[in-house]
Structure 1
Amino acid sequence: MTKRLKRSEVTSEMTWDLSALFKSDEDFKKALEVAKSDAEKIKLFKGSLTHDACNLYKAIESLENLIISLDALGTYVSLLESVDGANTSYQELAMNFEAVATEISAGLTFYDNEIMSITKEEYKQLFINEPKLEVYRVYLEDIFTQKEFKLSDDTEETLAALGEITGAPYRTYSTSKSADMQFDSFKDSKGNLLPNSFALFEGKYEFSEDSVTRKNAYESFNKTLNKYKNTYASIYSTEIKKQVTLSKLRGYASVTDMLLKPQKVTNEMYHRQIDVIYKELAPHMHKFAKLIKNELKLEKVHFYDLKAPLDTTFNPSATYEEARDIVIKSLGIMGDDYTDIIKKAFNERWIDYSDNEGKSTGAFCASPYAAHPYILLTFQNNMRDAFTLTHELGHACHFYLANKEQRCFNTEPSTYGVEAPSTMNEMLLGRYLLKTTSEPKMKKWVILQFLGTYYHNFVTHLLEAAFQRKVYAYAEEGRPLTAKLLCDSKLEVLRGFWGDSVEIDEDAGMTWMRQPHYYMGLYPYTYSAGLTASTAVSEMMFTEGKPAVDRWIKMLKTGGKEKPLELLKIAGMDLTSDEPVQKAVKFVGSLIDQLIELS
């Protein structure tokens, strides 16, 4: 086994350059003191925000500058910790920042309260009296439109003070999941005794080519879940009741309305995304399950077989340099301006791709307004990592363009479509690889990567969303959310989708216990929304060419200035009908058909 490097042993070429944020920890500390001082000056606006429009403009401008500074400070410590979590000096910097940021945040709550205190007529007059306020319209409207759902100032302050308590369900779930759960070891087909854990089961054993490993790991995993199901049902029930109660107190028509409001998404868009995919993707996935059965020579396809590899004989390798070149070539259709950003990311060390002790797992892209995006991943010299790399570069290009074109408050789009730019890059890479290879094994491998993306977004997370919708409906009816009801509901969703093509055993009903998404509002369905958009527009790019590319780039530059429906219209998509979702589902079906032909 190759020994993992310590962070200090990693060559600089494999790490990111944080000097665009701060040249040293000392510079960071000085900037933190400046932020504290600026926050105190901003407090002088308290009680006078809406006295005149000019004063409000100056106040918001000061707040914007402070937020940009805090964003840079927070990103810096977060990036340091993500590459060396055991470094105590990084931990100290992070704790110092959190203490200051919390204090600043608590002292600036008057902004929302004062803006919401004015009448509709006074609000409209603000933009007439001070035209420069137009650049902050999105920020002001996001606050002002909460006016009708606002509780009294005292109640809002009380709820804010109880933030740690109201956030307890998610923290309790996360702590228990990571620290308390212990899983029995199990044997593989060769009699080897293997350890089990959440990370091992979901990151390794579900994908094992050994059917005995998959089965035994699944049984070991569910044995432990079963011991916690009543406790987790109580925790999840508390989270749901909290949301339902808040929606009633604030006067929303439903908890769904409350949770969709910050996403700026209609009920129709939300339900369409779930209903169309659940109904129309199912027949295609039944064919996929049959392919799994035939390829793996199984008597039955069980729930624990669905992520088993269909081809273990081919796993193309790629160095980081090779992946870089392929990614750049695959994105050529996007034009020179877009690929120039990609090249900057490589040349200016926006990317940290080493594997070292203490480094965070997974991949992410952080995009501080004051600098440029930063990408974390662990590159393992295989072509699959090229898909991860281009995915995160999609986020990076999106926010690089939005940050460049928009004011700080206008950069963040709704979560409804935030995954569209990242999955677009995956679409383009996959299409490029299919076009440039004639080797059947490579074509099959690329299609399997595509299907992995769709399975993650259109099956795993979509079925989470369908389950989540049921649970909120039960809660609003006043039904007790017992472990039995939750497990039965999950089984109903799974069996309704997979039908007779997959053996869904009783333990599969505990799948709801595995996901943290249920504590994050209506988040699971948004994965499919982003992929729907990238699927449709990538097809436009290959049929229309430059006009479709130009529309997409314009949408990226718009950031969060428009609502999701208007944003996607810029890209040429109309999400007021079922058609875009149906086209995406049809594309998944075509991939499965191609895979069957190659098998």
Structure 2
Amino acid sequence: MSKELKTREEIKEKYKWNLNDIYPDDQSFESELEKVLKEVKNISKLKDDFTASADNLLAALNKIITIEEQTSKLYAYAHMKYDQNTQNEKYQNYKNKAVMCYNKLSNSTSFMVPAIIQLGEKKLNKFKEVEVELEFYNHFFDDILRQKDHYLSAEEEKILALAGEVTQSSENIFSMLNNADLEFPLIKDEKEEEIRLTHGRYIDLLKNEDRRVRQDAFEEMHGEYQKLENTFAAVLDSSVKGDVFYARARKYDSALESALDSDNISTDVYNNLIDTVSNNLEPLHQYMKLKKELLNLDELHIYDTYKPLIEEVDLKFKYEETKEIIKNAVKPLGNDYIQVVEKGFHSGWIDVYENKGKRSGAYSSGCYGVHPYILMNYTQDISNLFTLIHEMGHAMHSYYSNKNQPYLYSNYKIFVAEVASTLNENLLLDYMLENAKSREEKLYLLNYFLEGFRGTVYRQTMFAEFEKMIHESVEAGESLTSQAMQKMYRKLNQKYFGEALVIDEKLDYEWARIPHFYYNFYVYKYATGYSAAAALADKIQNDGPEAAAKYLEFLKAGGSDYPLNILRKAGVDMKKAQPIENAAAKFKNYLKQLQELI
């Protein structure tokens, strides 16, 4: 019997998010889009008198920020409607129109930053004396002036803005290929029944007791990418070339420097992560050897590494159970935090189950003035419990930021976003270990931590190193062919996983299915975020309400300061190697505990 996915209509309403909290219906979205497009068209009229006086500057900035907020709301509704079912042409069109609106807004406001730079710090200060309300924009002005050497003239900025639709196409093409067009084959499960291989089912299949099922899932998944290897290589090559184009246009030494500068982070932080993790790979190599031994395998393949070591423990959680576990796990963060989480579970925040055409993976999204949203593709495996509390961490960060910051400063940087999510995972692990009912369950959880660390720190750092390599390759004038990326990816897998793991040919194509490679140096933030989160979680567990209150201030800060400064106020300095070294030491310690229990 074939186990096909349900359609969107077959999913119960209580398991769907409520996008009507953004707009009551599609007609409202369309009316708002039409209105905002007219407003965007009129922005260009502000250009001539933008810096003519303090009053003009304030009025124009207020107008632009209001339109930006409206546009972000349009995009939130459109992209989440689209993600519900990527095969729905109507919402594909909505998303495209929202992106177009963003690009037109960017084009219309391209004069703004050059004009502020030309105005200069002294004149700005004089304007603030005349119009005190301009002080609201202090951090906004500081951030612009900090990057003044990398902004171009108004006309050049306009050209870069016009290029937006073209340079964004690589990610859109990948998304359509990966989520809408690519259909994986039927494979046989452990009962010899046919089941459709999907993004959402893939990891569960890799944890199957039957090694044949695990191998089939791995080979069939990556076999589909191998069939289109040159297409995926060309799309990724185009994306990287876009990153390099913008970096060079803005006079950065590298795409890496350009990507990090938006967060006011030096390349030393990125390189320090790779160097520190590379110097701490031996515990991972030991873990791979232990896996091979405990699984009693002659050869350890990547599709074996997801199988739980403790076969006797089968931790499955119904969705309703996860809600109670999560509320208990976050108790150290205080009653207010718990109450908001409870509200999120019952107020249309979460789209729970996978349906045909739905975007793969999980995320938190939303817009200012409306509660956050979470997309899941929930299955009962323990990994989905951790994914849900991870995404709830993002959602809570957005909730507190939006409640305590104006729109301009509500959008926190991604560098700190992963702190909120992985801190929740740390608290969940602590709770689960403390409440483990048996030695076997504790073994399972320790192993789960090691697997999570492998995925969040080691694997994401490997991805970060791969990203650095492919960008440096394009910067050196080389093309990113499938063959070139296969060689890079194989070399990195050998380095990170050591001699215990057999590197299958199909693993060489894994780069083709990773959406984060289109996010312009995003993945390193998972590893740095995990390290910072581990440090903050330890403070909360050890110091109690005082540390928790300090952490909530971190969540409330939004984007009102630079991310490294916000983290430093919370008690963690990510310019230093220590947090990453401490995280690696925690992995080594938990590995030792696992070995002792075995």
* TM-score in same-fold range (> 0.5): yes
* Mean CA deviation greater in 287-296 or 135-144: 135-144
Alignment of 1:270-289 (within 5 A): 270-280=270-280, 282-289=281-288
Distance 2:291 2:384 in 1: 24
Cα distance in 1, alignment partners of residues 170 and 254 from structure 2: 21
- Quick one: distance in 2 between partners of 1:508 and 1:38? 49
Matches within 5 A, 1:530-549: 530-549=529-548
Does the 8 Å CA contact 1:402/1:559 hold for their aligned counterparts? yes
Contact conserved, 1:390 with 1:426, CA < 8 A, in 2? yes
> Per the alignment, in what secondary structure is the counterpart of residue 494 of structure 2?
helix
SS at 2:374's partner residue?
Answer: strand
Q: Tell me the equivalent position of 1:111.
A: 112
Where does residue 139 of structure 2 map in the other structure?
138
| 2:250 corresponding residue in structure 1 | 250
1:155 alignment partner in structure 2? 156
Alignment partner of 1:80 is 2:81: yes
After superposition, where does 1:159-198 map in structure 2 within 5 Å?
159-175=160-176
Note closer, same or farther for the CA distance 1:229–1:582 as it changes in structure 2 (3 Å cut).
Answer: same
Distance 1:471 1:93, change over 3 A: closer
Tell whether 2:558 aligns with 1:559.
yes
Partner of 1:209: 209
Deviation of the 1:89 alpha carbon: 5.9
Distance 2:93 2:517 in 1: 32
Q: CA deviation at 1:470?
A: 2.9
Aligned-residue offset at 1:327:
1.3
Cα distance in 2, alignment partners of residues 459 and 558 from structure 1: 29
Which whole-Å CA distance do the structure 2 matches of 1:449 and 1:436 have between them?
Answer: 15
Per the TM alignment, residue 369 of structure 1 is displaced from its structure 2 partner at its CA by 0.8
Q: Does 1:265 align with 2:268?
A: no
Which region of structure 1 is more displaced relative to structure 2, 225-234 or 460-469? 225-234
Secondary structure in structure 2 of the residue aligned to 1:574: coil
Moved more, 248-257 or 77-86: 77-86
Deviation at 1:503?
2.5
Q: Distance in 2 between matches of 1:506 and 1:4?
A: 30
Task: State the distance in 1 between where 2:82 and 2:13 align.
Answer: 17
Distance 2:322 2:587 in 1: 25
C-alpha change, 1:96 and 1:568, in structure 2 (3 Å) is closer
1:436-474 CA-to-partner distances (Å, cap 9, x unmatched) read 233223223323332332222112221111222233344
After superposition, give the CA deviation of every residue in 1:362-419 in whole Å (9 maximum; x if it has no partner): 3222231111112232444555433222222111111111111111121222222211
Matched residue, 2:440: 441
Matched pairs, number: 597
SS where residue 117 of structure 1 aligns?
helix
In 2, Cα distance between equivalents of 1:359 and 1:476: 36
Amino acid at match of 1:48: D
Give the partner amino acid of 1:255: A
Aligned position for 2:399? 400
How far apart in 2 are the matches of 1:5 and 1:253?
A: 49
- Partners of 1:482 and 1:205 in 2: CA distance: 30
Task: Deviation per CA, 1:164-215: give whole Å up to 9, x if none.
Answer: 333444445555556777878888899x697886738954554343333444
Match in the other structure for 1:340: 339
> Counterparts of 1:534 and 1:274 in 2: how far apart (Å)?
18
Q: Structure 1 residues 372, 196: CA separation in 2 closer, same or farther (over 3 Å shift)?
A: closer
1:63 aligns with 2:87: no
Q: Secondary structure at 2:337's aligned position in 1?
A: helix
Q: Are the equivalent residues in 2 in contact too, given 1:74–1:97 (CA < 8 A)?
A: yes
Preserved CA contact (<8 Å) 1:401 1:556: yes
TM-score by length of 2: 0.88
Q: Secondary structure of the residue that 1:133 maps to in structure 2?
A: helix
SS at match of 2:568: helix
Paired letter, 2:78: V
Query: In the alignment, is the contact (CA less than 8 A) between 1:286 and 1:498 conserved in 2?
Result: yes
What CA distance in whole angstroms lies between the structure 2 residues aligned with 1:9 and 1:510? 34
> Closer, same or farther in 2 for the Cα pair 1:350/1:53, shift >3 Å?
same
How far apart, CA to CA, are the structure 2 residues paired with 1:71 and 1:315? 42
Q: Using a 3 Å threshold, how does the CA distance of structure 1 residues 104 and 500 change in structure 2: closer, same or farther?
A: closer
Change (3 A) 1:421 1:565: same
Residue 491 of structure 2 is matched in structure 1 by: 492
Change (3 A) 1:384 1:256: closer
Aligned to 1:420: 419
Which deviates more, 576-585 or 103-112? 103-112
Q: 1:553 & 1:493 partners in 2: Cα distance? A: 38
The answer (yes or no) to whether the contact 1:395–1:421 under 8 Å persists in 2 is yes
Q: Distance in 1 between matches of 2:240 and 2:378?
A: 39
Matches within 5 A, 1:224-243: 225=225, 228-229=228-229, 232-243=232-243
Deviation at 1:550, TM superposition (A): 1.6
Asked if 1 retains the 8 angstrom alpha-carbon contact of 2:364 and 2:391, the reply is: yes
Q: Which runs of 5+ in 2 are unaligned?
A: none
- AA paired with 1:137? N
**1:345 Cα deviation after fit:** 1.4
CA shift, 1:585, in A, is 1.0
Distance 1:112 1:363 in 2: 34
Task: Note if 1:591 corresponds to 2:590.
Answer: yes
For 1:172 and 1:19, locate their aligned partners in 2 and report how far apart those are by CA, in whole Å.
Answer: 28
Q: Given the superposition, is the C-alpha separation of residues 351 and 304 from structure 1 closer, same or farther in structure 2, using an over 3 Å criterion?
A: closer
Q: Is the 8 A contact 1:201 1:217 kept in 2?
A: no
Equivalent residues of 2:206, 2:304 under 8 A apart: yes
Q: Provide the C-alpha distance between the structure 1 equivalents of 2:140 and 2:367, rounded to a whole number of angstroms.
A: 18
Paired with 1:351 and 1:180, the residues of 2 have a C-alpha distance of 26
Distance 2:161 2:282 in 1: 47
Mapped to 2, the partners of 1:11 and 1:195 lie a distance apart of: 22
Amino-acid identity (%): 27
Per-residue Cα deviation, 1:547-578 (whole angstroms, up to 9, x for no partner): 22122111111111121211111111122321
The verdict on how the C-alpha distance between 1:475 and 1:26 changes in structure 2, with shifts beyond 3 A counting, is closer
Q: Deviations over 1:63-110 (max 9, x none)?
A: 222222222233233333433556666556556655555544443333
Q: Determine if contact 1:427/1:538 at 8 Å carries over to the other structure.
A: yes
**RMSD over aligned Cα, in angstroms?**
3.3
Residue matched to 2:571 = 572
- CA gap of 1:269–1:101, structure 2 versus 1, over 3 A, is closer
Contact preservation (8 Å) 2:489, 2:508 = yes
Which has the higher mean CA deviation after the structures are superposed, 553-562 or 23-32? 23-32
Name the SS for the 2:522 alignment partner: coil
SS in 1 for 2:307: coil
Q: Secondary structure at the match of 1:417?
A: helix
